[in-house]
Structure 1
Amino acid sequence: MDLTQQSVAPRGGSSSPAAAGPVAPAVSGPGPADRVRIVLREPFRAETWRRMAYIVLALPVTLLCIPLALAGGPVGRIQRGLARRLLRVDAGEPARTGPLALVHAVVSSPLNLVALTVCGYFWTIVVINFGFPLRTDGDPSHSWGGPTMAGAWAVHAVGGGVTFLFLTPWVAKGFTDLQTRLVSGFLGADRTGLARHTWIALGIAAVCALLSVPVIHQL
């Protein structure tokens, strides 16, 4: 046998594409057009209005749960049920929540108040700016976009109505995401990050309370 005719296997493995196996396609995130579509459809999704319903109901429910928790009532089950029905969040059911149910009701109340106030104020801006002709005395000469009613209405509808129409759902989403974490931490089976989320909730409530002072003075 001629040794010069012996084939030598290539070092470093096969260079054949077939031997290397199929190459997984690169996964890309949403493009700019997809992001625009997501933003534009957010105010009209059922999930957005479920979040708003949760924000509206969360404050009275937590306030009612404070005396109910002191009386040993099923506070955890009530608040988990509210989050499950409106936010589609299953926090799980621990063996018992004990005093954590009362702590959650007390801690989450300031955040729920801020969420309701901020989102309610933003939706009010949407309504009063789209309905600008209904709230004036008929003389828009000193209004933004004046002196014509059409110009003033266009400026208010776009600057206030449209802007806050698409901004408010994302603000509501931020509040409900944090509210969900508090429900899962205090009343669910997963306590991961509970202390951090509690401090974030209290911090947001404090900052919003300070920012509300100049707003109230302008009313």
Structure 2
Amino acid sequence: MNVSRNVAAPTPALKRGFARQLGEAVILFPLGLFALVMALGGQGGPARRVLRAQPGASAVRVIAHAALTVLLGVLALILAGVLALGTARGLFYGFVDSGPYDDSWGGPSKAGAWLAHFGVSLPISAAAIGLLYGLAALHRRLTAPLRGERRPAWVLPTVLLSCLATALFLFAFIRQLN
């Protein structure tokens, strides 16, 4: 049985939308911090514009959403760091580590170590990209009430659990440095 499907290649507009959403996730922290500082300083207009809120959105709601945006932004920065590290230590491993490769994954040859690190970094980088993409969508759903739209019931608990997991990760990471 021969089943053929026409699978279209991603259009340039789709690629731009994907890249824009990844970029939106990466800049959540500075945008949220700006909105939070502006809202706490009594400048609700710029804070509402950054969060794409309606002009009539209450100051308390803007401050709360700005604070949650900052927390999601911290998670996005961690994921961007994982992506950068996966790229540097995977794709560019041979340039980052000059050897010897006797104790490296895939060693003792440079090619084996490079291939092993690349193979490990691919799924990690793909997961980081997927999570960044999802984080931007989660933020858009989180701020839906600011635009006068309904927010799904699962969004706020998901955001709060994500922020808690980020705080626990940061605590454990900082703790291991000591």
Normalised by the size of structure 2, how large is the TM-score? 0.79
Amino acid at match of 2:134: G
Q: Residue 85 of structure 2 is aligned with which of 124, 129, 149?
A: 124
Q: CA deviation at 1:57?
A: 1.9
Alignment of 1:43-62 (within 5 A): 45-62=15-32
Q: CA deviation at 1:214?
A: 4.3
Q: CA deviation at 1:119?
A: 2.7
What is the alpha-carbon root mean square deviation over aligned residues? 2.8
Amino acid at match of 2:163: A
- 1:126–1:165 contact (8 Å) kept in structure 2: yes
Count of paired positions: 167
Which stretch of structure 1 is more off in the superposition, 143-152 or 108-117?
108-117
Alignment of 1:1-219 (within 5 A): 45-70=15-40, 71-74=42-45, 75-80=47-52, 94=54, 96-99=56-59, 100-160=61-121, 162-185=122-145, 187-193=146-152, 196-216=154-174, 217=176
Q: CA deviation at 1:53?
A: 1.6
Other-structure match for 1:90: none
SS in 2 for 1:193: coil
Percent identical among aligned pairs is: 22
Q: CA deviation at 1:94?
A: 4.0
- 2:51–2:66 contact (8 Å) kept in structure 1: no
Q: CA deviation at 1:205?
A: 1.1
Residues 73-114 of structure 1: CA distance to partner in whole angstroms, max 9, x if unpaired? 31222221xxxxxxxxxxxx6460012111211122111211
Amino acid at match of 1:103: A
Amino acid at match of 2:16: A
Larger Rg, first or second structure (1 or 2):
1
Q: Distance in 2 between matches of 1:103 and 1:146?
A: 51
Q: Distance in 2 between matches of 1:120 and 1:48?
A: 19
Unaligned residue ranges in structure 1 (runs of 5+): 1-30, 81-92
Q: Is the alpha carbon distance of 1:208 and 1:66 closer, same or farther for their aligned partners in structure 2, counting shifts above 3 Å?
A: closer
Unaligned residue ranges in structure 2 (runs of 5+): none
